[in-house]
Amino acid sequence: MMEVSDALPGSDLIKQGLRDLAAGTESIESLLVLVGATRLRRIGLNVPQNDNSRFPEDRLYAKLAEQDSDTAHSRYNALIRRLVSFERAAECVSP
C-alpha cells in the first residue's frame, strides 16, 4: 500500500480523511476521501470500506452547508479540486 507523502498537494486532507474513516468519524475530510475512494484505491491507498459510503458527494455538500450555506458551493468545489490535484500527483509517483 502507498504511504501518503506530505509533498503531495492536499495530503493533509487525505491523511485526516483516512484517519477519520478508520475511526468511524464522518468529517469533511472522510467524506472527501469517500468521494475519491475508487481512484485512491487504484493508486494504492488503503481506503477503509464504509457502511455509510453511499452518496458521499451529497453528504459532503450537506456538511459544508451546515457550517455555512452561503459558501458551501465554492468550498465544495475547492475541496474537489484539491482531491483531484492529490490524485493526479499521486498517480505520477505511485509505482
Domain for residue 41, yes or no?
yes
Domain for residue 51, yes or no?
yes
Whole-model pTM: value is: 0.93
Domain for residue 44, yes or no?
yes
Instruction: Write out the DSSP string of the chain.
Output: -----TTSTTHHHHHHHHHHHHHT---HHHHHHHHTHHHHHHHT------TT-S-HHHHHHHHHHHH-TTTHHHHHHHHHHHHHHHHHHHHHH--
Domain for residue 70, yes or no?
yes
Q: What is the mean pLDDT of each run of 10 residues along the chain (95 residues)?
A: 87 96 95 96 90 86 97 98 97 83
Give the number of domains in the chain.
1
Domain for residue 38, yes or no?
yes
Domain for residue 48, yes or no?
yes
Structural domain for 39, as ranges: 11-93
pLDDT of residue 1: 67
Domain for residue 39, yes or no?
yes
Domain for residue 1, yes or no?
no
pLDDT of residue 94: 74
